[in-house]
Amino acid sequence: MSDNAITSTSFSFAGLTSVYNGKVRDVYTINNQFLVMVATDRISAFDFILPRGIPYKGQVLNQIAGKFLDTTSELVPNWKIASPDPNVTVGHLAEPIKVEMVIRGYLTGHAWRVYKSGRREICAVPMPDGMKEHDRFPEPLITPATKAEEGHDEDISREEILERGLVTETDYKLLEQYTRILFQRGTEVAAEKGLILVDTKYEFGIKDGKIMLIDEIHTPDSSRYFYSDGYEERQRNNEGQKQLSKEFVREWLMERNFQGLPGQVMPDMPDQFVNQVSDRYIELYETITGERFQKVDYSNVLDRIKQNVDAFLSDMK
Protein backbone atom coordinates (compact mmCIF):
# COMPACT_ATOMS: atom_id res chain seq x y z
CA MET A 1 0.00 0.00 0.00
CA SER A 2 2.70 2.46 0.98
CA ASP A 3 4.16 2.87 -2.51
CA ASN A 4 0.94 4.09 -4.14
CA ALA A 5 0.81 7.51 -2.52
CA ILE A 6 0.31 10.67 -4.61
CA THR A 7 3.53 12.63 -4.02
CA SER A 8 3.48 14.93 -7.05
CA THR A 9 1.17 16.04 -9.86
CA SER A 10 1.74 17.79 -13.18
CA PHE A 11 -1.65 18.27 -14.83
CA SER A 12 -2.29 20.52 -17.82
CA PHE A 13 -5.94 21.43 -17.48
CA ALA A 14 -7.78 23.55 -20.07
CA GLY A 15 -7.42 27.26 -19.31
CA LEU A 16 -4.48 26.70 -16.97
CA THR A 17 -2.82 30.04 -16.08
CA SER A 18 -0.54 29.10 -13.16
CA VAL A 19 0.43 26.32 -10.76
CA TYR A 20 1.43 26.52 -7.11
CA ASN A 21 2.89 23.56 -5.22
CA GLY A 22 2.32 23.82 -1.49
CA LYS A 23 3.52 21.46 1.20
CA VAL A 24 0.50 19.24 0.71
CA ARG A 25 -1.69 20.70 -2.05
CA ASP A 26 -1.01 21.41 -5.71
CA VAL A 27 -3.11 24.39 -6.78
CA TYR A 28 -3.97 24.95 -10.43
CA THR A 29 -5.38 28.35 -11.45
CA ILE A 30 -7.89 28.22 -14.30
CA ASN A 31 -8.51 31.32 -16.45
CA ASN A 32 -7.40 33.52 -13.50
CA GLN A 33 -10.85 32.84 -12.08
CA PHE A 34 -11.01 29.41 -10.45
CA LEU A 35 -8.73 27.12 -8.48
CA VAL A 36 -8.38 23.36 -8.82
CA MET A 37 -6.87 22.27 -5.51
CA VAL A 38 -5.45 18.74 -5.52
CA ALA A 39 -4.84 17.26 -2.08
CA THR A 40 -1.78 15.03 -2.48
CA ASP A 41 -0.55 12.42 0.01
CA ARG A 42 2.49 14.47 0.95
CA ILE A 43 2.94 15.06 4.65
CA SER A 44 4.91 17.85 6.32
CA ALA A 45 6.24 18.40 9.81
CA PHE A 46 8.42 21.20 11.19
CA ASP A 47 7.93 22.93 7.79
CA PHE A 48 9.64 20.06 5.95
CA ILE A 49 7.97 17.72 3.48
CA LEU A 50 8.68 14.16 4.60
CA PRO A 51 10.33 11.81 2.08
CA ARG A 52 7.34 9.49 1.63
CA GLY A 53 3.67 10.07 1.02
CA ILE A 54 0.85 8.66 3.15
CA PRO A 55 -1.74 6.72 1.11
CA TYR A 56 -5.29 8.13 1.36
CA LYS A 57 -4.15 11.15 3.37
CA GLY A 58 -5.09 13.54 0.57
CA GLN A 59 -8.54 11.99 0.23
CA VAL A 60 -9.05 12.25 4.00
CA LEU A 61 -8.07 15.92 4.08
CA ASN A 62 -10.08 16.88 1.01
CA GLN A 63 -13.23 15.12 2.15
CA ILE A 64 -13.12 16.40 5.75
CA ALA A 65 -12.52 19.96 4.53
CA GLY A 66 -15.30 19.60 1.95
CA LYS A 67 -17.83 18.48 4.54
CA PHE A 68 -16.99 21.37 6.88
CA LEU A 69 -17.00 23.91 4.04
CA ASP A 70 -20.48 22.71 3.07
CA THR A 71 -21.88 22.73 6.61
CA THR A 72 -20.49 26.17 7.51
CA SER A 73 -21.26 27.98 4.25
CA GLU A 74 -24.44 29.49 5.71
CA LEU A 75 -22.35 30.98 8.55
CA VAL A 76 -19.29 32.22 6.66
CA PRO A 77 -18.91 32.50 2.86
CA ASN A 78 -16.22 30.22 1.43
CA TRP A 79 -14.38 29.51 -1.77
CA LYS A 80 -15.71 26.01 -2.57
CA ILE A 81 -17.75 25.37 -5.74
CA ALA A 82 -17.58 21.56 -5.97
CA SER A 83 -15.49 18.45 -5.34
CA PRO A 84 -15.37 16.57 -8.65
CA ASP A 85 -12.92 13.96 -7.32
CA PRO A 86 -12.17 12.53 -3.85
CA ASN A 87 -8.82 14.35 -3.89
CA VAL A 88 -9.95 17.61 -5.51
CA THR A 89 -11.85 20.77 -4.62
CA VAL A 90 -12.66 23.39 -7.25
CA GLY A 91 -13.40 26.88 -6.01
CA HIS A 92 -13.18 30.63 -6.52
CA LEU A 93 -9.84 32.39 -6.85
CA ALA A 94 -9.52 35.00 -4.08
CA GLU A 95 -6.68 37.31 -3.09
CA PRO A 96 -5.25 35.66 0.05
CA ILE A 97 -5.06 37.76 3.22
CA LYS A 98 -1.51 37.43 4.52
CA VAL A 99 -2.58 36.59 8.06
CA GLU A 100 -3.52 33.16 9.41
CA MET A 101 -6.27 33.32 12.02
CA VAL A 102 -5.20 30.88 14.73
CA ILE A 103 -7.65 30.22 17.56
CA ARG A 104 -6.83 28.25 20.70
CA GLY A 105 -9.29 26.80 23.18
CA TYR A 106 -6.62 25.06 25.29
CA LEU A 107 -3.09 25.68 26.56
CA THR A 108 -1.45 23.22 24.20
CA GLY A 109 1.33 23.07 21.61
CA HIS A 110 2.92 26.41 20.74
CA ALA A 111 0.89 28.27 23.38
CA TRP A 112 2.12 25.86 26.06
CA ARG A 113 5.75 26.25 24.95
CA VAL A 114 5.39 30.04 25.25
CA TYR A 115 3.70 29.68 28.67
CA LYS A 116 6.31 27.21 29.94
CA SER A 117 9.05 29.71 29.08
CA GLY A 118 7.52 32.08 31.65
CA ARG A 119 5.64 34.42 29.33
CA ARG A 120 2.01 35.15 30.09
CA GLU A 121 0.94 36.56 26.77
CA ILE A 122 0.91 35.38 23.18
CA CYS A 123 0.36 37.77 20.27
CA ALA A 124 -0.20 40.44 22.96
CA VAL A 125 -3.16 38.40 24.27
CA PRO A 126 -2.86 37.71 28.03
CA MET A 127 -2.92 34.15 29.39
CA PRO A 128 -4.05 33.52 33.00
CA ASP A 129 -1.58 32.49 35.71
CA GLY A 130 -1.78 29.07 37.34
CA MET A 131 -2.56 27.00 34.26
CA LYS A 132 -1.00 23.68 33.30
CA GLU A 133 -0.54 22.02 29.92
CA HIS A 134 -3.82 21.16 28.12
CA ASP A 135 -5.98 23.24 30.50
CA ARG A 136 -8.92 24.97 28.86
CA PHE A 137 -8.72 28.76 28.47
CA PRO A 138 -11.62 30.70 30.05
CA GLU A 139 -12.34 31.96 26.52
CA PRO A 140 -10.71 30.88 23.23
CA LEU A 141 -7.72 33.06 22.32
CA ILE A 142 -7.16 34.39 18.80
CA THR A 143 -3.40 34.36 18.16
CA PRO A 144 -2.75 35.35 14.52
CA ALA A 145 0.33 34.40 12.53
CA THR A 146 1.89 35.95 9.47
CA LYS A 147 1.89 33.59 6.52
CA ALA A 148 5.52 33.13 5.56
CA GLU A 149 6.51 32.46 1.94
CA GLU A 150 9.28 30.25 3.30
CA GLY A 151 10.16 28.91 6.73
CA HIS A 152 8.10 29.20 9.87
CA ASP A 153 5.01 31.36 10.26
CA GLU A 154 5.43 33.96 13.01
CA ASP A 155 3.13 35.18 15.78
CA ILE A 156 1.78 38.68 15.25
CA SER A 157 -0.49 40.87 17.36
CA ARG A 158 -3.67 42.61 16.26
CA GLU A 159 -1.89 45.95 16.68
CA GLU A 160 1.02 44.89 14.45
CA ILE A 161 -1.37 43.62 11.77
CA LEU A 162 -3.09 47.00 11.64
CA GLU A 163 0.17 48.99 11.86
CA ARG A 164 1.61 47.06 8.91
CA GLY A 165 -1.57 47.53 6.93
CA LEU A 166 -2.03 43.80 6.32
CA VAL A 167 -5.79 44.32 6.61
CA THR A 168 -8.06 47.23 7.50
CA GLU A 169 -9.48 47.48 11.01
CA THR A 170 -13.00 46.83 9.68
CA ASP A 171 -11.85 43.71 7.85
CA TYR A 172 -9.86 42.48 10.85
CA LYS A 173 -12.92 42.71 13.09
CA LEU A 174 -14.80 40.61 10.56
CA LEU A 175 -11.94 38.07 10.45
CA GLU A 176 -12.13 37.71 14.24
CA GLN A 177 -15.91 37.39 14.09
CA TYR A 178 -15.74 34.70 11.38
CA THR A 179 -12.97 32.88 13.29
CA ARG A 180 -15.03 32.66 16.48
CA ILE A 181 -18.17 31.57 14.59
CA LEU A 182 -16.29 28.78 12.78
CA PHE A 183 -14.51 27.62 15.93
CA GLN A 184 -17.80 27.48 17.81
CA ARG A 185 -19.38 25.35 15.07
CA GLY A 186 -16.28 23.11 14.91
CA THR A 187 -16.36 22.71 18.70
CA GLU A 188 -20.03 21.68 18.62
CA VAL A 189 -19.52 19.15 15.81
CA ALA A 190 -16.45 17.68 17.56
CA ALA A 191 -18.36 17.34 20.84
CA GLU A 192 -21.08 15.34 19.09
CA LYS A 193 -18.38 12.88 18.00
CA GLY A 194 -16.71 12.60 21.42
CA LEU A 195 -13.90 14.98 20.50
CA ILE A 196 -12.54 18.32 21.70
CA LEU A 197 -11.44 20.84 19.05
CA VAL A 198 -8.32 22.13 20.81
CA ASP A 199 -6.99 24.68 18.33
CA THR A 200 -7.12 25.37 14.64
CA LYS A 201 -6.30 27.95 11.98
CA TYR A 202 -8.35 29.56 9.24
CA GLU A 203 -7.21 31.31 6.09
CA PHE A 204 -9.23 33.96 4.34
CA GLY A 205 -9.17 35.76 1.02
CA ILE A 206 -10.98 38.62 -0.71
CA LYS A 207 -12.99 38.28 -3.90
CA ASP A 208 -15.06 41.13 -5.35
CA GLY A 209 -14.53 43.07 -2.12
CA LYS A 210 -15.95 40.25 0.01
CA ILE A 211 -14.02 38.24 2.61
CA MET A 212 -14.36 34.47 2.26
CA LEU A 213 -12.87 31.41 3.93
CA ILE A 214 -10.31 29.67 1.70
CA ASP A 215 -8.18 26.52 1.84
CA GLU A 216 -9.02 23.78 4.37
CA ILE A 217 -11.03 23.75 7.59
CA HIS A 218 -11.00 21.49 10.69
CA THR A 219 -8.71 18.85 9.15
CA PRO A 220 -6.02 17.00 11.12
CA ASP A 221 -3.38 19.09 9.32
CA SER A 222 -4.89 22.43 10.39
CA SER A 223 -6.43 21.42 13.72
CA ARG A 224 -5.71 19.54 16.91
CA TYR A 225 -8.29 17.28 18.54
CA PHE A 226 -8.41 15.54 21.93
CA TYR A 227 -10.70 12.66 22.84
CA SER A 228 -13.20 14.09 25.33
CA ASP A 229 -13.69 10.77 27.14
CA GLY A 230 -11.23 10.79 30.04
CA TYR A 231 -10.02 14.35 29.41
CA GLU A 232 -10.81 15.62 32.93
CA GLU A 233 -9.34 12.54 34.59
CA ARG A 234 -6.12 12.78 32.57
CA GLN A 235 -5.82 16.46 33.54
CA ARG A 236 -6.33 15.68 37.24
CA ASN A 237 -3.65 12.97 37.06
CA ASN A 238 -1.24 15.17 35.09
CA GLU A 239 -1.25 12.67 32.24
CA GLY A 240 -0.83 13.47 28.56
CA GLN A 241 -4.01 13.89 26.55
CA LYS A 242 -5.13 11.39 23.92
CA GLN A 243 -4.79 13.34 20.68
CA LEU A 244 -6.27 12.82 17.26
CA SER A 245 -3.94 14.86 15.05
CA LYS A 246 -0.66 14.46 13.22
CA GLU A 247 1.18 15.32 16.45
CA PHE A 248 2.25 11.66 16.71
CA VAL A 249 4.23 12.10 13.46
CA ARG A 250 6.11 15.04 15.01
CA GLU A 251 6.73 12.94 18.12
CA TRP A 252 8.07 10.06 16.00
CA LEU A 253 10.47 12.48 14.29
CA MET A 254 11.58 14.07 17.59
CA GLU A 255 12.32 10.61 19.03
CA ARG A 256 14.70 10.25 16.10
CA ASN A 257 16.33 13.64 16.71
CA PHE A 258 14.63 15.57 13.93
CA GLN A 259 12.88 18.90 14.44
CA GLY A 260 13.88 20.55 11.18
CA LEU A 261 16.90 22.25 12.76
CA PRO A 262 20.17 22.89 10.88
CA GLY A 263 22.39 19.82 10.72
CA GLN A 264 19.62 17.36 11.56
CA VAL A 265 18.98 14.45 9.18
CA MET A 266 15.46 13.40 8.22
CA PRO A 267 14.98 9.77 9.33
CA ASP A 268 13.85 7.09 6.89
CA MET A 269 10.18 6.17 7.15
CA PRO A 270 9.69 2.38 7.09
CA ASP A 271 6.62 0.84 5.42
CA GLN A 272 5.15 -0.11 8.78
CA PHE A 273 5.18 3.50 9.99
CA VAL A 274 3.81 4.88 6.69
CA ASN A 275 0.90 2.43 6.85
CA GLN A 276 0.35 3.26 10.53
CA VAL A 277 0.08 6.98 9.69
CA SER A 278 -2.38 6.15 6.90
CA ASP A 279 -4.51 4.14 9.33
CA ARG A 280 -4.48 7.03 11.82
CA TYR A 281 -5.70 9.50 9.20
CA ILE A 282 -8.52 7.14 8.24
CA GLU A 283 -9.42 6.71 11.93
CA LEU A 284 -9.52 10.47 12.25
CA TYR A 285 -11.82 10.80 9.23
CA GLU A 286 -14.23 8.23 10.60
CA THR A 287 -14.24 9.76 14.08
CA ILE A 288 -14.73 13.35 12.92
CA THR A 289 -17.37 12.62 10.27
CA GLY A 290 -19.08 9.63 11.90
CA GLU A 291 -18.96 7.93 8.48
CA ARG A 292 -17.05 4.93 7.18
CA PHE A 293 -14.10 5.90 4.97
CA GLN A 294 -14.36 4.60 1.41
CA LYS A 295 -10.89 3.95 -0.03
CA VAL A 296 -10.82 4.93 -3.68
CA ASP A 297 -9.00 2.91 -6.32
CA TYR A 298 -5.31 3.90 -6.40
CA SER A 299 -4.29 1.89 -9.46
CA ASN A 300 -4.57 4.84 -11.90
CA VAL A 301 -5.19 7.64 -9.46
CA LEU A 302 -3.63 10.48 -11.50
CA ASP A 303 -5.58 9.47 -14.63
CA ARG A 304 -8.76 9.38 -12.54
CA ILE A 305 -8.16 12.88 -11.16
CA LYS A 306 -7.40 14.26 -14.64
CA GLN A 307 -10.54 12.75 -16.18
CA ASN A 308 -12.82 13.94 -13.35
CA VAL A 309 -11.46 17.49 -13.36
CA ASP A 310 -11.49 17.74 -17.16
CA ALA A 311 -15.15 16.65 -17.24
CA PHE A 312 -16.08 19.17 -14.54
CA LEU A 313 -14.26 22.09 -16.18
CA SER A 314 -15.87 21.23 -19.49
CA ASP A 315 -19.33 21.39 -17.86
CA MET A 316 -18.48 24.78 -16.32
CA LYS A 317 -18.01 26.41 -19.71
What is the CATH T-level fold of the domain 96-236, as seen in this structure? D-amino Acid Aminotransferase; Chain A, domain 1 (3.30.470)
What is the CATH T-level fold of the domain 16-94+269-316, as seen in this structure? Phosphorylase Kinase; domain 1 (3.30.200)
Q: Across the chain, what does the average pLDDT equal?
A: 94
Please provide the distance, in angstroms rounded to a whole number, between the alpha carbons at the two ends of the chain: 38
How is the chain split into domains, by residue range?
16-94+269-316, 96-236
The pTM of this model reads 0.91
Q: What is the pLDDT of residues 208-257, one digit of tens each?
A: 999 999 999 999 889 999 999 999 999 999 999 998 877 789 889 999 99
Structure confidence at residue 1 (pLDDT):
45
HEC letters along 154-187: EECCHHHHHHCCCCCHHHHHHHHHHHHHHHHHHH
Q: What is the pLDDT of residues 33-86, one digit of tens each?
A: 999 999 999 999 888 899 999 999 999 999 999 999 999 999 999 999 999 999
